[in-house]
Amino acid sequence: MAKQYETVIGLEVHVELATKTKIFCGCTTAFGGAPNTHTCPVCTGMPGSLPVLNRQVVEYAMAVGLAANCQINQYCKFDRKNYFYPDNPQNYQISQLYLPICHDGYIEIETGSGKKQVRIHEIHMEEDAGKLIHDEWEDCSLVDYNRSGVPLIEIVSEPDMRSAEEVTAYLDKLRLLIQYIGASDCKLQEGSMRADVNLSVREVGAEEFGTRTEMKNLNSFKAIGRAIEGERARQIELLEEGKAVIQETRRWDDNKEYSYAMRSKEDAKDYRYFPDPDLLPVNISDAWMNRVKDALPELQPQRQERYEREYGLPAYDAQIITASKKMADIFEETVALVSNPKKVSNWLMVETMRLLKEKNQEPEDLRFDPENLAKLIRLTEDGSVNSSVAKEVFEKIFTDDIDPEVYVTEHGLKTVNDDGALEEVVCKVLEENSKVVEEYRSGKEKVLGFLVGQVMKAMKGKANPAKAGELLKKKL
């Protein structure tokens, strides 16, 4: 019988924090900007410059840790991780090894076989590196230090996950938690959230872990899923051939769906960590920790529960809307203006989701003003526009955030509520479709839809279809 294998996965997740300034200097963290303009002597590693810790970084790290059920090290320290690479101007990265700010937490995920806890080994604070740009045209590499010193937290899980589904569920939960706290926007595509996957396989029932590899360069949930499947298959094949898995870092190429060896995996001792002598240990008082705890905002599970209770939304709607903080905020602001939660929810669940999918965007990319959605809902409620016009107008709100009242007036899209005009068209349609009228009279009532369609067409979509149907029935 063929051997059965189990996949063992742990994740290291780096998250860029949403502070205005860098972790150890006052330079802006704004994305973009001309190369090397968001820099100073500290974040370019000039001799003699001294780092000063950004208080907000500590608070964000603590908030994420508390929300993820971690213990807080109220006495924590920074260490130097020594390595040479051109994007790292100091030749060391300031990170935490011996006393990270958070440890021993967990995130609860839903799996096919019920709830499961994924344990968090630790969360530590560190600085990001710069970026190398390889210019193939000029045959040289350039370095941009704008990202150097941007604050990161690294969330290290225990090897508790067993499948790509569990990994996705864990990342989803983690991302939601951090977004609701406001500590980061967690965009995988833009690199503000990055996941490295540690993976090994072992025979089902085995106690000992197999040799693991680490995969980098995973910038979407789909890529992570494919990388896990690909690496699992590669390792099983090696074992089946009686070969050993080598502990190393591999780069996943999502186009070729294959991972390549980058370098042998270093251990902590290879980095010659030692406490950073330029930074004092961080002492977190009970009062400070409690302030951060009390200031934790409502997180996704509570918000979902409140939407069901307060607005009477079905659990399904409440879950989808709260699955993005941005979407939930738009929902809430719109409801405050029109007080019809189910209608607002429908616009978000149906048209908004459809357009996001069509344009390959994330809910975090939504840019329209809730006021404009509220205005559109009012226009439909008072019968000023019918549902097909409303959909057309909504698409304009979605893409260009237009004011629907102005747009409808300017484009002559208001529903014609002039009964005389409608009656005229109805009579004309009945006259021109005598055959269909016969069918209706002989009992085929479903042809009414066709006649309503003809009326709508004749009035260029600006009639009220319900009214047209009523009038048709009366005349028939």
What is the nearest approach in angstroms of Zn ion to the Cβ of residue 96? Answer: 20
Nearer CB in complex with Zn ion: 45/275: 45
**Contacts to Zn ion from residues 290-349, by CB under 5 A:** none
Size of the site for Zn ion (CB under 5 A): 5
**Contacts to Zn ion from residues 42-61, by CB under 5 A:** 42-43
- Taking the C-alpha atoms of 92, 97, 98 and 99 in order, what is their torsion angle to the nearest 10 degrees? 110
Scanning 18-26, 101-109, 266-274, 321-329 for contacts with Zn ion by CB under 5 A, the matching segment is 18-26
| Binding-site member from 9, 25, 57, 471 for Zn ion (CB under 5 A) | 25
Nearer CB in complex with Zn ion: 92/407: 92
> Is residue 150 close enough to count as binding Zn ion by CB under 5 A?
no
What is the nearest approach in angstroms of Zn ion to the Cβ of residue 126? Answer: 16
What is the nearest approach in angstroms of Zn ion to the Cβ of residue 21? Answer: 8
Nearer CB in complex with Zn ion: 25/455: 25
What is the nearest approach in angstroms of Zn ion to the Cβ of residue 193? Answer: 23
Scanning 22-30, 67-75, 201-209, 213-221 for contacts with Zn ion by CB under 5 A, the matching segment is 22-30
Nearer CB in complex with Zn ion: 90/96: 90
Scanning 38-46, 108-116, 176-184, 340-348 for contacts with Zn ion by CB under 5 A, the matching segment is 38-46
| Binding-site member from 9, 11, 23, 27 for Zn ion (CB under 5 A) | 27
Nearer CB in complex with Zn ion: 49/211: 49
- The values of phi and psi at residue 18, to 5°, are -85, 35
Scanning 21-29, 61-69, 121-129, 425-433 for contacts with Zn ion by CB under 5 A, the matching segment is 21-29
What is the nearest approach in angstroms of Zn ion to the Cβ of residue 28? Answer: 9
What is the nearest approach in angstroms of Zn ion to the Cβ of residue 146? Answer: 10
Scanning 6-14, 17-25, 362-370, 381-389 for contacts with Zn ion by CB under 5 A, the matching segment is 17-25
What is the nearest approach in angstroms of Zn ion to the Cβ of residue 80? Answer: 18
CB distance 215 to 231 below 8 Å = yes
Nearer CB in complex with Zn ion: 45/461: 45
Scanning 34-42, 79-87, 197-205, 411-419 for contacts with Zn ion by CB under 5 A, the matching segment is 34-42
What is the nearest approach in angstroms of Zn ion to the Cβ of residue 37? Answer: 11
CA angle 426/427/432 to nearest 5° reads: 100
What is the nearest approach in angstroms of Zn ion to the Cβ of residue 131? Answer: 15
H, E, C per residue of the chain: CCCCEEEEEEEEEEEECCCCECCCCCCECCCCCCCCCCCCCCCCCCCCCCCCCCHHHHHHHHHHHHHCCCEECCEECCEEEECCCCCCCCCEEEECCCCCCEEEEEEEEEECCEEEEEEEEEEEEEECCCEEEEECCCCEEEEECCCCCCEEEEEEECCCECCHHHHHHHHHHHHHHHHHHCCCCCCCCCCCEEEEEEEEEEECCCCCCCCCEEEEEECCHHHHHHHHHHHHHHHHHHHHCCCCCCCEEEEEECCCCEEEEEEECCCHHHHCCEECCCCCCEECCHHHHHHHHHCCCCCHHHHHHHHHHHHCCCHHHHHHHHCCHHHHHHHHHHHHHHCCHHHHHHHHHHHHHHHHHHCCCCHHHCCCCHHHHHHHHHHHHCCCCCHHHHHHHHHHHHHHCCCHHHHHHHCCCCCCCCHHHHHHHHHHHHHHCHHHHHHHHCCCHHHHHHHHHHHHHHCCCCCCHHHHHHHHHHHC
What is the nearest approach in angstroms of Zn ion to the Cβ of residue 38? Answer: 7
Scanning 33-41, 291-299, 439-447, 456-464 for contacts with Zn ion by CB under 5 A, the matching segment is 33-41
| Binding-site member from 12, 14, 28, 40 for Zn ion (CB under 5 A) | 40
Q: Looking up tokens 């899923």, which residue turns up?
A: 225
Nearer CB in complex with Zn ion: 27/57: 27
> Which positions lie near Zn ion, rule CB under 5 A?
25, 27, 40, 42-43
